[in-house]
Amino acid sequence: MKKMLFLLIILGGLGAAAFYGSQFLTHLNSAGYVLIGIDQWSLETSLFVFLGVLIAVFFILYFSFRLLGWTVRLPTKIKKRVANNKIALSQKALIKGLVDSAEGNWEAAETILIKHASHSGAPLIHYLTAARAAQSRGAFDKRDEYLQFAAEHGDDSEIAVGLTQAELNLSGQQYEQALETLTRLHSINPKQANVLRLLHQTYQKLEDWQSLRSLIPSLTTHKVLMEAELKLVETEVFSNLLKQAAEQKNRVALQTLWAEMPLSIKVMRGVAAIYFAAMIDVDAGASIEEELVKNLSANWSETLLVLFGNIQSTDPVLQLETAERWLIGHANDAILLMVLGKLSGQRTDYAKAQRYLQQSIALDPNVQSYRLLGDLALTQNDASAASQFYKQGLELAASALVNQIDTRSV
């Protein structure tokens, strides 16, 4: 439009110039003439005719060159127009594919995304979305094929493609494949937050607690998880490492883990109970007796109390005296009374043991106290009493089991 306006202005200017020129020459009583000589040839014409021919030739040449330029550029324009149309179609296809994927129409989404991916300005999004659609319908071979296409068509997209692949592997419970991909990505960019987050999830699924423990500093430094989440991860890691060491009956590993464990985790009852129970199981209860007493004094726990009663102390007298001091603040604790009965029986103070155990049952009947009373009766060669205590303990256990079944059925 601008070019046309410019041309009209030029034509108007030329017309105005010709008009005023003719008026000027008319006033001079002479139209003027032009004489052109070439060798023996000569051409004579009026000035107006010459100017008219000159203008005509100019416009003929001008439009001829314009037409020639337009003709030369025509294939490029057609190609560009076709490409733009394809890009527009691919954009519509991408939107349609995303909508189908969101609505769960996996096959439709996959088909339309792949069909238009090669013409898209963002083929990476087409292939990654198609891979997710293929995963959702269980077509893992197609998923991997689309991920390969994405890697080939995306510039600097290795992290993006790898993360998608790892997420899909995790979703499909292909944990080893996910770990392989994430290990490679971690070597490329050790600070990438999403890589660290997925590595954390993968180690959890694989129950590779030692590797997850090694990852905790990076999770902390790069703020991949919130503080509360990190604390849960640390607790889970050390708890499971303690369990593994306990299963292996590895006393050195247990003590090393406990020494390296943050204090905030040590004071958690469940974690402390795992450690103390494991140490008692490897016949190292005497080495943790003092620390167990400190834990009980600071945080009263029936679980730790039972563990204290299971320690084979190097000083049984002091062990019993320590437990009896706890009666000052926990006189009506049935578990404490049961432990006192057990420790008294081990010191062959049968009368005291029987008294503590009967007090425990009076407060809260429990199977362990009945069993200890039965063992005590056998030690004193009273088989009839022992049989009666064992029977009461079995009845109590059976009743508890029936109640548990009834509760679950409701």
Encode pLDDT of 100-143 as tens digits. Answer: 666 777 677 767 777 766 666 667 777 777 787 777 777 778 88
Q: Is the dihedral of CA 191, 197, 200, 205 positive or negative?
A: negative
Task: Report whether 320 contacts 347 (CB < 8 A).
Answer: yes
Cβ atoms within 10 Å of 95's Cβ, excluding its own:
11
Q: Name beta bridge partners: 43.
A: 36
Distance CA 299, CA 335 (A): 15
Q: CA–CA separation, 346 vs 231, rounded Å?
A: 41
C-alpha span between 338 and 373 (Å, rounded)? 10
pTM of the entire predicted model: 0.66
Tokens 């909508």 -> residue: 99
Residues 244-292: tens digit of each pLDDT: 999 999 999 999 999 999 888 888 878 889 999 999 999 999 999 999 9
Domains and CATH numbers, the chain: 87-152 (1.25.40), 172-225 (no CATH), 315-400 (1.25.40.10)
- pLDDT lower than 70: segments of the chain: 1-35, 37, 39, 44, 46-52, 69-70, 74, 77-95, 97-98, 100-102, 106, 110, 116-122, 154-156, 403-404, 406-410
What is the SS3 assignment for 35?
A: strand
Report the alpha-carbon distance of residue 398 to residue 191 in Å, rounded: 56
Q: What pLDDT is recorded for position 98?
A: 63
Q: 122 CB contacts (<8 Å, ≥6 apart)?
A: 94
* 340 Cβ contact list (under 8 Å, min separation 6): 320, 323, 324, 327, 356
**Pick from 206, 236, 240: nearest CA to 219:** 236
| 37: helix, strand or coil | strand
- The end-to-end CA distance of the chain, in Å, is 83
Are 203 and 187 contacting, i.e. CB atoms less than 8 angstroms apart?
A: no
3-class secondary-structure state, position 151: helix
Tens digit of each residue's pLDDT (9 = 90 or more) over 214-230: 999 999 999 888 988 99
Q: Name 42's bridge partners.
A: 37
Distances (CA, A) of 189 to 4, 129, 199, 309: 57, 24, 13, 52
Where is 46: in which H helix or E strand? strand 41-46
DSSP state at residue 73: H
